[in-house]
C-alpha cells in the first residue's frame, strides 16, 4: 500500500451524525493523492465508536476512555500519522469535492507556506470568518464591552475579523481556524504540536502565533472549501464551554502578551475576562429559565 501523503485527523466527542456526514463527504469523492483518515474518539457516549467500526472500516480509529480535549487528541493522532501533511478537521464539517487535492497541490507549489486555511462556509452557504488578525487589546475592548454596541462598525473590530475583505482571494493572515487547518507535518513537529495547556479554544491561534515566530507563514486559500456547522459538540455543554473558552483566552494572553502589557494594566485582563464570561453565563441561565417557565405555564 502506498504511503499516505495526507493525513486527515479528526477528534470527535459525541458528534456521531455530523461525523458520519463528514467522513462520507471525504470517502464519496476521495482525494487523488494517497491519504489516510484517523479519528480519535474522546470518550463519546452517543455510539460514535460503534458507527465508525460498522460503517467506516477504512478509517483508523483511536479510542480514549477519557476526554483528552482538542489539543491532546490531535497530538496523539499526529504521533501515529504517516502523511507529509496533516489536515486537522472538526467532525461537524463537510469537505467539498477536490478540497483536499487543492490543499495538497497548493502546498506543493508553495513550500514557503507552513499552514494553510481553506475557505469555511456556514451550512447556509454564507462566509464563516475563519481567519483573523491576532487578538489585540483595542479590538478586545470594542468586542467585549458596551463600546461594541455603541460603535458596531468600528475599525478595530473590522480589522480583527478582516470583514472589509471579501475572502475570495488568497492572502497571508495571522491565524486560521483549527476547524480545518492544513499544516506541514515537519512544521507541526518543530512546534511540538498543539499546546496541551489549551484543552480547547485558542490552540489554533497559539499554533499559528508560534509558527510565525519560527518563520512558518500562514495563508488563507479560498479555492479549497469546507462547510462547518459551528459548535455541534460544544453546544451540548454550553456553559462549561464558556468557562473553558475564557480560561483559554487568559492562557493565550499570559503566554504571549502579559510581558508586553504595562504592569498597571495586567490585573484588569483576568477581571475583564471573568466579567465577560459571567455575562454569557447569566444570559444562558436567563434563557434556560424563560424556556422552563414557558413549559410549566
pTM of the predicted structure, to 2 decimals: 0.88
Residue 278 has pLDDT above 80, yes or no: no
Asked if the model's pLDDT at residue 185 lies above 90, the reply is yes
Question: In the chain, what's the furthest Cα-to-Cα distance?
Answer: 64
pLDDT tens-place string over residues 110-120: 999 999 999 99
C-alpha 265: how far from its chain's center? 29
CA distance 46 to 49: 8
**Helix, strand, or coil here: 37?**
strand
State which fold the 6-129+167-229 domain adopts: Spore Coat Polysaccharide Biosynthesis Protein SpsA; Chain A (3.90.550)
Confidence of residue 255 (pLDDT cuts 50, 70, 90): confident
Predicted confidence at residue 163, as pLDDT, reads 86
Find cell 496533516 and name the residue: 86
Query: Of 1-15, 19-33, 177-191, 246-260, which range is least confident?
Result: 246-260
Comparing 252 with 148, the larger pLDDT belongs to 252
- Mean pLDDT for the chain overall: 88
Q: What is the pLDDT of residues 26-57, one digit of tens each?
A: 999 999 999 999 999 999 999 999 999 999 99
90 neighbors 13 (Cβ within 8 angstroms): no
pLDDT category at 198 given cuts 50, 70, 90 is: very high
- Indicate if the pLDDT at residue 153 is higher than 80: no
Question: Which pLDDT tens digit goes with each residue over 154-179?
Answer: 777 787 888 889 999 999 999 999 99
**Taking the CB of residue 82, how many other CB atoms lie within 10 A of it?**
15
Residues whose CB is less than 8 angstroms from the CB of residue 29 and which lie 6 or more positions away in sequence, other chains included? 97, 98
Q: What is the pLDDT of residue 213?
A: 96
pLDDT band at residue 291 under the 50/70/90 scheme: low
Complete DSSP assignment for 193-232: SS-TT-SSSSHHHHHHHHHHHTT-EEEEEEEEEEEE-TTT
**Crossing angle (nearest 10°) for helices 203-213 and 238-256:** 20
pLDDT in tens, 91-135: 999 999 999 999 999 999 999 999 999 999 999 999 999 999 998
pLDDT for the residue numbered 290:
61
Render 238-281 in DSSP notation, one character per residue: HHHHHHHHHHHHHHHHHHHTGGGS-GGGTTHHHHHHHHHHHHHH
Amino acid at each position: 500500500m502506498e504511503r499516505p501523503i495526507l493525513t486527515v485527523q479528526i477528534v470527535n466527542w459525541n458528534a456521531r451524525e455530523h461525523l458520519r456526514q463528514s467522513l462520507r463527504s471525504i470517502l464519496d469523492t476521495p482525494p487523488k493523492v494517497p491519504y489516510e483518515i484517523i479519528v480519535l474518539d474522546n470518550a463519546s457516549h452517543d455510539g460514535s465508536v460503534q458507527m465508525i467500526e460498522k460503517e467506516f472500516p477504512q478509517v483508523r480509529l483511536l479510542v480514549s476512555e477519557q476526554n483528552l480535549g482538542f489539543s491532546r487528541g490531535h497530538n496523539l493522532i499526529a504521533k501515529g500519522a504517516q502523511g507529509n501533511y496533516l489536515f486537522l478537521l472538526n467532525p461537524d464539517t463537510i469537505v467539498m469535492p477536490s478540497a483536499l487535492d487543492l490543499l495538497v497541490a497548493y502546498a506543493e507549489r508553495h513550500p514557503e507556506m507552513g499552514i494553510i486555511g481553506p475557505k469555511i462556509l456556514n451550512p447556509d452557504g454564507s462566509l464563516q470568518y475563519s481567519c483573523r488578525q491576532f487578538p489585540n487589546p483595542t479590538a478586545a475592548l470594542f468586542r467585549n464591552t458596551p463600546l461594541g454596541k455603541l460603535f458596531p462598525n468600528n475599525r478595530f473590530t473590522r480589522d480583527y475579523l478582516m470583514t472589509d475583505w471579501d475572502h475570495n482571494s488568497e492572502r497571508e493572515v495571522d491565524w486560521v481556524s483549527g476547524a480545518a487547518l492544513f499544516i506541514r507535518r515537519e512544521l507541526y513537529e518543530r512546534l511540538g504540536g498543539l499546546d496541551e495547556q489549551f484543552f480547547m479554544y485558542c490552540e489554533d491561534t497559539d499554533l499559528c502565533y508560534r509558527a510565525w515566530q519560527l518563520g512558518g507563514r500562514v495563508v488563507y486559500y479560498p479555492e479549497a472549501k469546507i462547510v462547518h456547522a459551528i459548535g455541534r459538540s460544544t453546544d451540548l455543554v454550553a456553559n462549561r464551554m464558556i468557562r473553558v473558552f475564557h480560561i483559554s483566552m487568559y492562557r493565550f494572553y499570559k503566554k504571549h502578551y502579559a510581558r508586553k502589557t504595562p504592569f498597571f494594566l495586567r490585573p484588569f485582563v483576568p477581571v475583564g475576562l471573568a466579567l465577560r464570561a459571567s455575562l454569557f453565563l447569566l444570559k444562558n441561565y436567563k434563557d434556560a429559565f424563560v424556556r422552563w417557565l414557558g413549559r410549566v405555564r
